[in-house]
Amino acid sequence: MADGYLVERGNPWDYDPGPPRNRKWPRLFSETPNYRALGEAVMGYEKFRWHFGPMYYRGRLWDNQVKVLVIGQEGGQDEALSHRSFTGSSGSRLQHFLGHIGITRSYLFLNTFVYSIFGQYSGRKIRWLAQDPASPIRQQRHEVLDYVLERNDVHLVIAVGTAAKESVATWVEARGGNCPGGHSAIETCDATVLGPKTRILGVVHPGGGASGNLTAIKADFQRAAGRVEEWAAVDSSWLPEDSDGTRAPASSYQYRKLPIPFRDLPYGVVWRLGHRSTTSNRKDDQRGIQIYSQSGKYNNRGHRLAYADDAHGSSTGYSDQPGDLPYEPPVADYGDYDRGPSSAMARLLAGGRSGYEWPDWNALGADAHPSFGRGPIYRGRPDDATVIVLADQRSHDDLLTFRALTGEAGQRFQALLDAIGIDVSYVIFRVLPIDTLDISASTRNAIVDHIQVRKVYAEIVRRTATANPRRKVLLAMGPMARRLVGHANPTGLRVVELKAWGQSGVATSWRAAIDTLESIPFGKDRSNPSFDWDGARRQIPRHDLPYGMLRWQGSSGDRARKPRRGSSPSPDYRKLLMPDWVYDLEPEPLSAREQTAVASFRAAHG
């Protein structure tokens, strides 16, 4: 049952909307230094895995919500897919540690580097990048850390691993404190420069367990739990438990994992991400990341997979603003992201409203693995839409962008919306919220005809149709949508049917739909639309995608692939591939400030 993947995670309709736009977080994150060029200039080669972008944070960014700040070294491939820090195996270990000391939500995870690194954290060059006062990476990290203190009363800082301990030490020293024992004795640092009641705790990195140090790691975490217990015994007001947390005795601590709560992740996230362990692996010389289901294997060991192609893509339709990089989230328009649906709509779409639960998809014949969840069901603005779209799934991109119709079909559809004068006043609901591309037409039809499926979609359309007083139209795109629409239009909206992208005759169908829409009154965003569709591809607007999605995501055609295992499509694997035109990019030139920083390194180190 799919619900097994929800245990200890809360509800999938509780989610992180991204940084609050009325605070400095989005701007601070967007000011990420040029990691690629800095790495090349200092290390002599590209030290950072830049292909799947930066990973900024996980946890609370609202004022006065952070009591515990956790700092690590870098993220990995799970973090690259979730666009949140500490969501893989190490994150699950730290999540359990926090739960053990009674902290269930009042935390924030950050890292020394927002990009992951090749190889180990060792040597003077990488340490210069991370810790030297002249390094733009350290400077930007300190701005972020200082802002944490500005907006919160932090009582505990946990440094995870050597890089993080060094980062905490340099932060303390930059604020006028000292660390007499150095980073190896991080608890000797003068934590009062961070806050009058702040304590600093260091632990070894859980990732070291793979090299045979598991016994030492367990002992160190046990010791850390004991330190928290000691400090709390001295001052019971120092670190109160969260309202739903309970501090357990240090003697009962077990080195185990706890899944990442849905409230820390974007709406629509793949359920597999954050589910207690690493769930993906890098492929194709950094160009791809393969995610695997609960039944899959790391690096598909023992499973021989065949992908039909490498999703090379092209830049047709891609556009950005000056200062943007294709492998980062927007820099110029850093506040341009989707914060997710309203609480009521989020619950309904996720099957959490009483009487409107989703059926058991696998019992109805779907082959989607339950651990992938049922997330990518919508894209757009349900409360403000005048164009409501029911659309069939057309690619696997949706699973990894957490939003509906974001591959080639969605990019083509953006041009149609543009032609009819719609820029923001639309919402797309996918039929269905699970993978249906490789099941038979008869099975798909039977699922669409299920009474509970009809009921849920009718309520989705009803809520959207009555959300605002503007005139609306309902589009049904694809055979499943056209089959469903007669049972999912309780308010009697005018319906326009279209073929799905990729079907024979789609161009004629879409031009006919545009002609029909020209004659129908409905609310538009522009007063004089052209109603002239050129058939070209557009990128998915950034305001449709959750925080952290990279510029190349939602562009360049279909970016995700599902493999075959033997003679059948595999329900257990998907692969996200960056487009060739991004993969082939050289690093951007260093800014004048970054050039000065590199010159200071060379002057000091030769």
Collapsed DSSP state (helix, strand, coil) of residue 403: coil
Residue 225 pLDDT greater than 70, yes or no = yes
| Predicted confidence (pLDDT) per residue in 118-144, tens digit | 999 999 999 999 999 999 999 999 999
Q: Which of 237, 290, 251 is nearest to 77 (CA)?
A: 290
Taken in order 244, 249, 250, 254, the sign of the CA dihedral is negative
For residue 604, with 0-12 CB atoms within 10 Å meaning exposed, 13-18 middle and 19 or more buried, which class applies?
exposed
For residue 338, with 0-12 CB atoms within 10 Å meaning exposed, 13-18 middle and 19 or more buried, which class applies?
buried
Mean pLDDT of 391-418: 98
| Predicted confidence (pLDDT) per residue in 170-216, tens digit | 999 999 999 999 999 999 999 999 999 999 999 999 987 655 688 99
Mean pLDDT of 74-79: 96
Return the bridge partners of 568, or none.
565
**98 preceded by cis ω (within 30°)?**
no
16, 84 contact by CB (below 8 A) = yes
Residue 226 pLDDT: 97
Mean pLDDT of 78-98: 97
Q: Are strands 288-292 and 573-577 parallel, antiparallel or unpaired?
A: antiparallel
Q: Determine which of 3-17, 183-197, 324-338, 393-407 has the lowest per-residue pLDDT on average.
A: 3-17
In the numeric block, the tokens 């505990």 are attached to: 156
User: In this structure, which amino acid lies at residue 477?
Assistant: M
Tell me how far CA of residue 230 lies from CA of 97, 187, 224, in angstroms: 16, 13, 10
379, 405 contact by CB (below 8 A) = yes
For residue 301, with 0-12 CB atoms within 10 Å meaning exposed, 13-18 middle and 19 or more buried, which class applies?
exposed
Query: What is the longest distance spanned by two Cα atoms in the chain?
Result: 76
> CATH says 20-280 is which class?
alpha beta
| Predicted confidence (pLDDT) per residue in 498-508, tens digit | 999 999 999 99
Q: Which residue has the higher pLDDT, 535 or 584?
A: 584
In the numeric block, the tokens 């230094």 are attached to: 33
Residue 2 pLDDT greater than 70, yes or no = no
User: In this structure, which amino acid lies at residue 467?
Assistant: A
Taken in order 92, 94, 95, 101, the sign of the CA dihedral is positive
Residues of the chain with CATH 3.40.470.10: 20-280, 282-583
Q: Are strands 378-380 and 280-283 parallel, antiparallel or unpaired?
A: unpaired
Alpha carbon distance 32, 136 (integer Å): 9
Q: What is the pTM of this model?
A: 0.97
* Spatial CB neighbours of 592, under 8 Å, sequence gap ≥ 6: none
The tokens of 111 are what? 């890292």
356, 456 contact by CB (below 8 A) = yes
| Predicted confidence (pLDDT) per residue in 447-490, tens digit | 999 999 999 999 999 999 999 999 999 999 999 999 999 999 99
Residue 209 pLDDT: 60
| Predicted confidence (pLDDT) per residue in 238-274, tens digit | 999 999 999 999 999 999 999 999 999 999 999 999 9
The CA-CA-CA angle for residues 368, 374, 379, to 5°, reads: 125
Residue 213 pLDDT: 82
Residue 605 pLDDT: 86
- DSSP string for 31-49: T---HHHHHHHHHSS--EE
- Burial track 446-456 (b if 16+ CB lie within 10 A, e otherwise): ebbebeebebb
Mean pLDDT of 516-531: 96
Q: Determine which of 157-161, 199-203, 366-370 has the lowest per-residue pLDDT on average.
A: 366-370
| Predicted confidence (pLDDT) per residue in 312-352, tens digit | 999 999 999 999 999 999 999 999 999 999 999 999 999 99
> What is the percent of the chain where pLDDT is above 70?
99
Residue 307 pLDDT greater than 70, yes or no = yes
In the numeric block, the tokens 């060029």 are attached to: 37
Residue 4 pLDDT: 78
Reply yes or no on domain 282-583 having CATH 3.40.920.10.
no
Residue 303 pLDDT greater than 70, yes or no = yes
Mean pLDDT of 419-445: 97
Mean pLDDT of the chain: 96
Q: Which of 491, 500, 479, 477 is nearest to 389 (CA)?
A: 477
Residue 1 pLDDT: 47
Catalogue the E-assigned strands of 169-270: 199-203
Residue 606 pLDDT greater than 90, yes or no = no
C-beta neighbour count of 440 within 10 angstroms: 10
* Spatial CB neighbours of 123, under 8 Å, sequence gap ≥ 6: none
The tokens of 141 are what? 């990290």
Alpha carbon distance 111, 163 (integer Å): 9
Residue 550 pLDDT greater than 80, yes or no = yes
Distance of CA 367 to the CA centre of its chain: 24
The tokens of 519 are what? 């004659």
Distance of CA 337 to the CA centre of its chain: 12
